[in-house]
């Protein structure tokens, strides 16, 4: 029986809690062509947002592959940090599509690891990566996500997770001092509470409160800018952010035994790269007693390509089988 495939042109959409990026892929050998970037809250539904972009497009897509920042239930998904509910068959009917697939946003990013080039990443820890080893992508953005890419020859499998919602606690005296302020107002402190845009703001406020200085009402982007300008409170918040990110990345690397490398994606880390202390990051990332030998083999990179998710979606559309996504239970039509 012929395996399922996607018809072209393909609409690829990266739907996050804050922004939605739409691109068109003409054929399996073509790069994606950006169409629009929309605010996720600008339209009442995903169908309305997509239709507004496609209305005047001379060549309409025949299929869609859509990445969603939230958990999936077959052909349906709910954004974790926004109101949109996505239903594959409803989208197909609204846009007159013959085929489609919903994936988790970090499934798309993990698929991109198969196609990203050296210029798309910056290495923080060299490690000793294995070509056939498990590769892990994780990242802070509006929320926090993680997924793994397992490969065996030409066949692969994408493993999405909800790692942003695992608990986290302090590991040293410096973290213990700020932890009461970090955990204030939440019944259970999670990775996403600390390693997301809101997490950077939470860290900034906690550092200010612990040091006895008033905390300005600033955004994550403001904190990044202030830190690069030398503001002490913002700089300390960023230092804490990198330390916690390296710690969580190392912990997740152990869980997946990510000998193929760990890749930090999302919109925040590239902006904070000028403030990344590689030596300190390497110490925290690999400091995993009694597993230092294994942890010392893990490589750590930051994905700097702003279109990594779209590259992953285009790769999925070109070869569903390559990523284990030729599943009739997930495809909108058989």
Domain ranges of the chain: 10-103, 117-304
Give yes or no for a contact between 171 and 152, defined as CB atoms under 8 angstroms apart. Answer: no
pLDDT (0 to 100) of residue 80? 82
Angle between helices 46-54 and 88-95 (to 10 degrees): 30
Query: Considering the entire predicted model, what is its pTM?
Result: 0.92
Structure tokens at 273: 């790269």
pLDDT (0 to 100) of residue 1? 47
110-148 tens-digit pLDDT: 999 999 999 999 999 999 999 899 999 999 988 899 999
Give yes or no for a contact between 17 and 35, defined as CB atoms under 8 angstroms apart. Answer: no
Domains 10-103 and 117-304 share a fold: no
- Architecture of domain 117-304 in this structure: 3-Layer(aba) Sandwich (3.40)
Q: What average pLDDT score do residues 221-235 get?
A: 93
d(CA 286, CA 222): 30
Q: Is the pLDDT of residue 292 over 50?
A: yes
d(CA 247, CA 250): 5
From the candidate CATH numbers 3.40.140.10, 3.90.79.10, 3.30.420.40, 3.40.50.970, the one assigned to the domain spanning 10-103:
3.30.420.40
Structure tokens at 33: 């062509």
Q: Is the pLDDT of residue 72 over 70?
A: yes
């Amino acid at each position: 029986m012929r395996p399922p495939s996607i018809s072209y042109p393909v609409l690829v959409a990266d739907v996050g809690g804050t922004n939605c990026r739409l691109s068109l892929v003409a054929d399996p050998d073509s790069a994606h062509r950006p169409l629009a970037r929309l605010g996720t809250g600008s339209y009442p539904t995903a169908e309305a947002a997509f239709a507004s972009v496609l209305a005047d497009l001379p060549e309409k897509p025949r299929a869609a592959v859509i990445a969603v920042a939230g958990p999936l239930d077959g052909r349906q998904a709910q954004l974790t940090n926004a109101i949109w509910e996505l239903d594959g068959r409803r989208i197909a009917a609204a846009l007159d599509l013959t085929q489609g697939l919903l994936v988790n946003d970090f499934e798309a990013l993990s698929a991109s690891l198969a196609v990203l080039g050296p210029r798309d990443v910056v290495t923080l820890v060299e490690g000793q990566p294995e070509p056939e080893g498990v590769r892990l992508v994780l990242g802070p953005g509006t929320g926090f996500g993680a997924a793994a890419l397992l490969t065996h020859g030409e066949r692969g499998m994408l493993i999405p997770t909800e790692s942003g919602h695992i608990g986290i606690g302090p590991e040293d005296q410096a973290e213990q001092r700020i932890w009461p302020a970090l955990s204030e107002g939440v019944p259970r402190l999670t990775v996403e509470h600390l390693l997301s845009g809101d997490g950077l703001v939470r860290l900034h406020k906690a550092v200010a409160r612990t040091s006895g200085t008033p905390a300005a009402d600033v955004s994550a982007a403001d904190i990044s800018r202030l830190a690069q300008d030398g503001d002490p409170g913002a700089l300390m918040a960023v230092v804490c952010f990198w330390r916690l990110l390296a710690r969580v990345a190392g912990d997740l690397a152990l869980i997946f035994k990510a000998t193929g490398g760990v890749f930090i994606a999302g919109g925040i880390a590239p902006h904070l790269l000028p403030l990344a202390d590689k030596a300190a990051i390497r110490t925290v990332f690999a400091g995993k007693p009694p597993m230092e030998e294994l942890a010392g083999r893990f490589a750590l990179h930051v994905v700097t390509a702003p279109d990594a998710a779209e590259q992953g979606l285009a790769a999925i559309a070109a070869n569903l089988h390559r990523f284990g996504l030729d599943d009739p239970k997930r495809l909108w039509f058989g």
